[in-house]
Structure 1
């Protein structure tokens, strides 16, 4: 989740053991004083993502686990609490000890953390019911819960909190989430996840089944749809990109690489003629010099 969504994590700015990620979190570019807080936020989102998405649990079990997870989050954010170590039957004491310390030290906005859990719960319910997103507006409403809170939490840590910066952060994070969706079509559909907007499918004369079967008679239409969705994500990313000049120090350079990493994924999808329902593209470490070069010219 992506961000952090259950389709992502490629969580925006995220990286974790055992998970492929597009973008590094708590890297050497992140100010050392903030690395524990950034890592705590990431591990909170990554673990919740796994509860929603990994293993063989039923939807009912996943929602029960997420409800327990939310209870431990609520406990660790209380003014008198520093962790869940004093909470009976705590399941994730170390994780919430670190997150609680970060939240108290930096005054992290609790609403952002709870929004992330709401996104994971929504993913479980939508997957179980076979829900299809009606249009881009509904997808962006999901991004508001699944991705945008991560950017807002990081901006809070960096002391950048004005409305323009928050809007640009939302644009970057939503773009990253959408890019992850269009990157992951070949992975999501077999897992009964579909983020292709119903109105766009109808406009191109397509169905989800066309993508699931790689219908050769509809290849051109499927390419056109993916190209349209990628163009929208690119535009959203470009709208938010000026934020890189507002985030101070090394963190601003990390954000430049995040933006360029997202745009590079779109380049790779275009290079395979937008057939991302066939092959999932990735950004390789060998491309770092190119990303750095492009970041220099932002």
Structure 2
């Protein structure tokens, strides 16, 4: 899976079936382009929003039965949406989240953060399930759990990195509850209060990941294997966060070669 721009997207996976490579790459190109518009470079917020709204107008053309005018959305339509009859809602949700990235840098409570994940992470899993033809409500709900948990885990890995970008994803009410200030995050001070806070956030992510994990065992073939890899990878990052006592300021927890061997082994053995 890609970890550079779109954390939970399996565009580079060796287990991706050949028939799905073109549609997955087309979807990834859309997601990465929109993500880069929202997050990269030094353009003014107004310009970023205008570019994202231009992508939304292209989706509106597809919804109206018209052909897209840009190569990016033309590829998305021709290689993914049309041949696999993909719903457009996940793509609208992604654009909504990317537009929110431009203007919203803080989250008051956990509910606000989950709503963001619903639009920034869950659509990826839903698109993949549609490509594989697995669209029952239980599978979609479990996929949402895995994707939201994966997004949260990425946030807790990247507290220091996001601070440098002017973002704080830890809910404001949680900061107040555990008596942690934003100034402390800026100082990179992982004291007892901060560690308690992070343990709390990671525990919630773990419970979501665990609730969605049966999907990796119920779905057969490559998609099940892919999901088991994602779940095990998330579990290992949570273990690394616990192992460093949640001091994400000294070093960002990442997966190494040994971890990938563990991921492959557990995914193969369905553990």
Distance 1:26 1:153 in 2: 16
1:119 pairs with one of 88, 93, 97: 97
Residue of structure 1 in register with 2:238 after alignment = 266
Matches within 5 A, 1:39-78: 39-76=25-62
Matched, 1:227 2:199: yes
Displacement, 1:159? Answer: 1.2
Are 1:206 and 1:222, in contact at CA under 8 Å, matched by a contact in 2?
Answer: yes
Are 1:139 and 1:195, in contact at CA under 8 Å, matched by a contact in 2?
Answer: yes
Which stretches in structure 1 are left out of the alignment for 5+ residues? 15-23
Residue of structure 2 in register with 1:182 after alignment = 156
Change (3 A) 1:248 1:98: farther
Displacement, 1:214? Answer: 2.3
Q: Give every structure 1 segment of 4 or more consecutive aligned residues whose post-TM-superposition deviation is greater than 6 Å.
A: none
With a CA cutoff of 8 Å and minimum separation of 6, indicate the structure with the bigger relative contact order: 1
2:171 pairs with one of 185, 194, 197: 197
Which stretches in structure 2 are left out of the alignment for 5+ residues? none
Distance 2:126 2:57 in 1: 22
Displacement, 1:136? Answer: 1.2
Displacement, 1:245? Answer: 2.1
Are 1:31 and 1:251, in contact at CA under 8 Å, matched by a contact in 2?
Answer: no
Per-residue CA deviation, residues 100-121 of structure 1 (Å, 9 max, x unaligned), is 1110000111011000000000
Q: Secondary structure at the match of 2:104?
A: helix
Are 2:198 and 2:246, in contact at CA under 8 Å, matched by a contact in 1?
Answer: yes
Displacement, 1:76? Answer: 4.6
Q: Secondary structure at the match of 1:281?
A: coil
Matches within 5 A, 1:121-270: 121-127=99-105, 132-215=106-189, 219-270=191-242
Matched, 1:100 2:77: yes
Are 1:244 and 1:256, in contact at CA under 8 Å, matched by a contact in 2?
Answer: yes
Displacement, 1:252? Answer: 1.1
Distance 1:3 1:293 in 2: 20
Distance 2:185 2:237 in 1: 20
Distance 2:261 2:180 in 1: 39
Per-residue CA deviation, residues 144-191 of structure 1 (Å, 9 max, x unaligned), is 110111111111111111111111011000001100100111100011
Distance 1:107 1:255 in 2: 22
Residue of structure 1 in register with 2:20 after alignment = 34
Residue of structure 2 in register with 1:19 after alignment = none
Change (3 A) 1:228 1:8: farther
Displacement, 1:258? Answer: 1.0
How many residue pairs end up in the alignment? 269
Displacement, 1:259? Answer: 1.0
Q: Please, which moves more after superposition, 230-239 or 67-76?
A: 67-76
Please give the TM-score of this superposition, normalised by the length of structure 1: 0.85
Please give the TM-score of this superposition, normalised by the length of structure 2: 0.93
Q: RMSD over aligned Cα, in angstroms?
A: 2.0
Distance 1:70 1:252 in 2: 32
